[in-house]
Amino acid sequence: MRHWAVLFLVVMTTCLFTRVEAAEAECEPTAIDRLATEDYETAVWFSLHRFRELKDTCGPGSGTYWYYLAQLESFVGNHAAALSHVDPAFHQDSPQDFPSSVTSVAATEYVIDRARDHRIVMVNERHHASSDRLLTMELLAPLAEQGFRYLAIEAGWNGDPINTRGYPVAETGYYVNDVVFAEVVRSAIELGYQIIAYEIEQEQRTAADQVGEMNRQEERDWWQAKNIVNRVFDIDSDAKLLVHAGYAHIHESGTDSWVPMAYFLSQFTGLDPLTIDQTAYGERSRLELEHPLRTRARELGLLGEEAIVLVNSEGQPTRPHKAVDLAVFGVSTRYAKGRPTWMGMEGRRRALDFDTPECAARVCIVEARRADFTDEVPLDRIEVTGAERTTLYLPAGEDIVVHVMGLDRSTLVTRNLYVPKP
Say how far apart CA 248 and CA 173 lie, in whole Å: 20
User: Residue 15 has what pLDDT?
Assistant: 35
3-state class (DSSP) for residue 150: strand
Confidence bin at 273 (pLDDT 50/70/90)? very high
Confidence bin at 6 (pLDDT 50/70/90)? very low
For the stretch 2-19, what's the b/e string if a residue is b when 16 or more beta carbons lie within 10 angstroms of its beta carbon?
eeeeeeeeeeeeeeeeee
Is the predicted pLDDT of residue 12 greater than 50, yes or no? no
User: Residue 361 has what pLDDT?
Assistant: 96
Helical pair 261-269 and 216-228, crossing angle rounded to 10 deg: 40
User: Residue 308 has what pLDDT?
Assistant: 98
User: Residue 182 has what pLDDT?
Assistant: 98
For residues 406, 409, 412, 413, the Cα torsion angle rounded to the nearest 10 degrees is 120
CA 298 remoteness from chain centre: 24
Task: List strand residue ranges (DSSP E) for 218-329, in order.
Answer: 241-246, 274-277, 308-311, 326-327
Looking only at Cα atoms, what is the longest distance across the chain?
87
User: Residue 10 has what pLDDT?
Assistant: 32
- Element containing residue 12 per DSSP (H, E): helix 2-26
Higher pLDDT among residues 287 and 167, named by residue: 167
Is the predicted pLDDT of residue 3 greater than 60, yes or no? no
Say how far apart CA 186 and CA 111 lie, in whole Å: 22
User: Residue 209 has what pLDDT?
Assistant: 59
User: Residue 234 has what pLDDT?
Assistant: 98
CA 257, 262, 263: angle at the middle one, nearest 5?
Answer: 55
Burial of residue 53, with CB atoms counted within 10 A of its CB: 0-12 exposed, 13-18 middle, 19 or more buried: exposed
* 198-202: average pLDDT: 94
* 298-310: average pLDDT: 93
For the stretch 308-336, what's the b/e string if a residue is b when 16 or more beta carbons lie within 10 angstroms of its beta carbon?
bbbbeeeeebbbbeebbbbbbbbbbbeee
Please give the model's pTM, rounded to 2 decimal places. Answer: 0.92
3-state class (DSSP) for residue 302: coil
User: Residue 24 has what pLDDT?
Assistant: 57
Question: By the 8 A CB rule, do 44 and 170 touch?
Answer: yes
Q: pLDDT tens for residues 363-395? A: 999 999 999 999 999 999 999 999 999 999 999
* 78-95: average pLDDT: 81
For residue 307, the cross-strand partners are: none
CATH number 3.30.450 is the correct assignment for the domain at 349-419: no
User: Residue 122 has what pLDDT?
Assistant: 99
Is the predicted pLDDT of residue 17 greater than 50, yes or no? no
User: Residue 93 has what pLDDT?
Assistant: 58
Is the predicted pLDDT of residue 246 greater than 60, yes or no? yes
370 Cβ neighbours under 8 A, 6+ residues apart: 376, 379, 398, 399, 400, 401
- 101-105: long-range contacts (C-beta < 8 A, 24 or more apart)? 101/312, 101/313, 102/300, 102/302, 102/310, 102/311, 102/312, 102/313, 102/318, 103/310, 103/311, 104/297, 104/302, 104/308, 104/309, 104/310, 104/311, 104/329, 105/308, 105/309, 105/310, 105/311
Q: pLDDT tens for residues 120-176? A: 999 999 999 999 999 999 999 999 999 999 999 999 999 999 999 999 999 999 999
2 Cβ neighbours under 8 A, 6+ residues apart: none
3-state class (DSSP) for residue 56: helix
**Under CATH, which number does the domain 103-327 receive?**
3.40.50
Higher pLDDT among residues 230 and 20, named by residue: 230
Instruction: List the chain domain ranges.
Output: 2-90, 103-327, 349-419
Report the mean per-residue pLDDT for the chain. Answer: 90
User: Residue 199 has what pLDDT?
Assistant: 96
% of the chain at pLDDT higher than 90 = 75
- What are the backbone angles phi and psi of residue 355, rounded to the nearest 5°? -75, 135
Q: pLDDT tens for residues 311-338? A: 998 889 999 999 999 999 999 999 999 9
Q: pLDDT tens for residues 34-75? A: 888 877 766 888 889 889 999 999 988 788 899 999 999 999
User: Residue 4 has what pLDDT?
Assistant: 37
Least confident of 31-40, 228-237, 388-397, 400-409: 31-40
Say how far apart CA 364 and CA 417 lie, in whole Å: 19
Higher pLDDT among residues 182 and 102, named by residue: 182
Confidence bin at 94 (pLDDT 50/70/90)? low
Say how far apart CA 119 and CA 229 lie, in whole Å: 13
Is the predicted pLDDT of residue 105 greater than 50, yes or no? yes
Helical pair 63-75 and 29-37, crossing angle rounded to 10 deg: 10
What are the distances in angstroms from CA 136 to CA 31, 151, 182?
A: 32, 10, 12
Nearest to 280 by CA among 314, 248, 312, 257: 248
